[in-house]
Amino acid sequence: MADLNTLKGKYLAGIAAAADEGALEEIRLAALGKKGEISLMMRELGGMAPEARQAAGAQLNVLKDEIDAALRARKAGLADAALDARLAAEWLDVTLPARPRRVGTIHPVSQVMDEVTAIFADMGFAVAEGPQVESDFFNFDALNIAPEHPARQEHDTFFMARAEGDPRPPHVLRTHTSPVQIRAMQAQGAPIRVIAPGRVYRMDMDQTHAPMFHQVEGLAIGRDISMANLKWTLEEFCRAFFEVANVELRFRASHFPFTEPSAEVDIRCSWAGGQLKIGEGNDWLEILGSGMVHPKVLAAAGVDPAEWQGFAFGMGIDRLAMLKYGIPDLRAFFESDLRWLRHYGFAAGDVPTVHGGLSR
Ligand code: PHE
């Protein structure tokens, strides 16, 4: 029988030198495979005398186990080395900054709606909503605009189709957000403090008018809410919205059927050098309509005018966006031109807040 120590030395050296799993497998076959050197020697044991067989058998088994253990150990070592090599090769610096990839921008109208909502929320106004397809009652009647009232013509209303023979007045695309005043008061009663941003529609189209545009309505009803509260609220709003310390507002007597008294509000501004600056200069820019809610409007909404009073206002959001962000043509707002959106749009992650900044 071959010297087992020599065999052991040969195989262990081979295993230690094996460079990969393939080489290891060859060694395993040569030693322990069906026709391997050690397997064949095991088979020869059968022809031996019983005592010699016992001694040789035990020695062969020990050798077989040693080679087997060495094969496994080397195999595990090779796998670790392979993993180390891969980890080293595929090294990744996770502290590198991400590659910016903008998927879209916030439209200036959405941005301004968020800014306006943040400012009024800070003053305790909740957001109320109403439908864009509105009944004649909410859009006109309840707001003290009777069927023959000339204000109906001024609104350039879009009328919805009506089933033939239906005696009711047709629904309309709401011409302003004021119907939400009625809906909010009907739902909540008084006292109430809400704003209602949303889409409105009028048949009009030029550089400063689009058939669909956006308004935000404001409504504050309490036991002794006055024009003074209206003035303070609007001044606070303008200071926050235009992000200037000094704003000056001018209240001009006006007329709306749903407020009495009514005022249109102008803001002091300058156009020096073709650039609009809010809060300085000698020009005035109209920014909203407002007034004390008409007793008939309170009554139509189920609020007792003998007990409650308050103010309402309505402003154009698109116009606010044009003024604040220097956007010259309203029509571009609704053309979905990607270059325009990238230029005038806002980063999606920057949610405006009063404390964190509105338009940064
Ligand atoms: N609804 C009016 C408009 O669209 C604005 C307004 C709202 C005026 C509330 C007074 C009070 O022009």
Please check whether residue 130 is in contact with residue 196, taking contact to mean a CB–CB distance below 8 angstroms: yes
Q: pLDDT at position 330, please?
A: 86
CA of 310 to the centre of ligand 1 (A): 14
CA of 104 to the centre of ligand 1 (A): 33
Cα distance between residue 341 and residue 298, in whole Å: 41
Nearest CA to ligand 1 atom 2: 314
- Cβ–ligand 1 contact at 313 (below 6 Å): yes
Q: Which atom of ligand 1 is nearest to the CA of 293?
A: 11
Q: Which atom of ligand 1 is nearest to the CA of 218?
A: 9
Q: Which atom of ligand 1 is nearest to the CA of 215?
A: 4
Q: pLDDT at position 163, please?
A: 85
3-state SS, residue 36: coil
CA of 144 to the centre of ligand 1 (A): 12
What is the tally of helices (H) and strands (E) in the chain? Answer: 12, 10
- Cβ–ligand 1 contact at 178 (below 6 Å): yes
What is the four-CA torsion angle of 191, 197, 201, 202, rounded to 10 degrees? 70
Q: pLDDT at position 314, please?
A: 98
CA of 46 to the centre of ligand 1 (A): 111
- Cβ–ligand 1 contact at 233 (below 6 Å): no
Nearest CA to ligand 1 atom 10: 290
Please check whether residue 171 is in contact with residue 135, taking contact to mean a CB–CB distance below 8 angstroms: yes
Q: pLDDT at position 1, please?
A: 53
Q: pLDDT at position 259, please?
A: 98
CA of 235 to the centre of ligand 1 (A): 17
Q: pLDDT at position 185, please?
A: 98
Cα distance between residue 69 and residue 223, in whole Å: 92
List the pLDDT tens digit at each of the 360 positions of the chain.
Answer: 568 889 899 999 999 999 888 999 999 999 998 898 998 888 888 888 888 888 888 989 999 999 999 999 999 999 999 899 999 899 888 898 888 777 788 999 999 999 999 999 999 999 999 999 999 999 999 999 988 887 787 778 999 998 889 888 899 999 999 999 999 999 999 999 999 999 999 998 877 788 999 999 999 999 999 999 999 999 999 999 999 988 999 999 999 999 999 999 999 999 888 888 888 999 999 999 999 999 999 999 999 999 999 999 999 999 999 989 988 888 899 998 999 999 999 988 778 888 877 876
Q: Rounded to an integer, what is the distance from CA 90 to the centroid of its chain? A: 35
Best of 201, 231, 256 for a ligand 1 pocket test (most atoms within 8 Å of beta carbon)? 256
Residue 351 is inside which H or E element, if any? Answer: none
Q: Are strands 283-293 and 249-256 parallel, antiparallel or unpaired?
A: unpaired
Q: Which atom of ligand 1 is nearest to the CA of 175?
A: 4
322-327 CB contacts, 8 Å cutoff, 24+ apart: 323/242, 323/276, 323/278, 323/285, 323/287, 324/112, 324/241, 324/242, 324/359, 325/108, 325/359, 326/275, 326/276, 327/108
Q: What is the full DSSP assignment across 285-322?
A: EEEEEEEEEPHHHHHHTT--TTT-EEEEEEEEHHHHHH
pTM: 0.72
Local structure of residue 276 (DSSP, 8 states): -
> Could you tell me which of 82, 73, 83, 80 has the C-alpha nearest to residue 28?
73
- Cβ–ligand 1 contact at 346 (below 6 Å): no
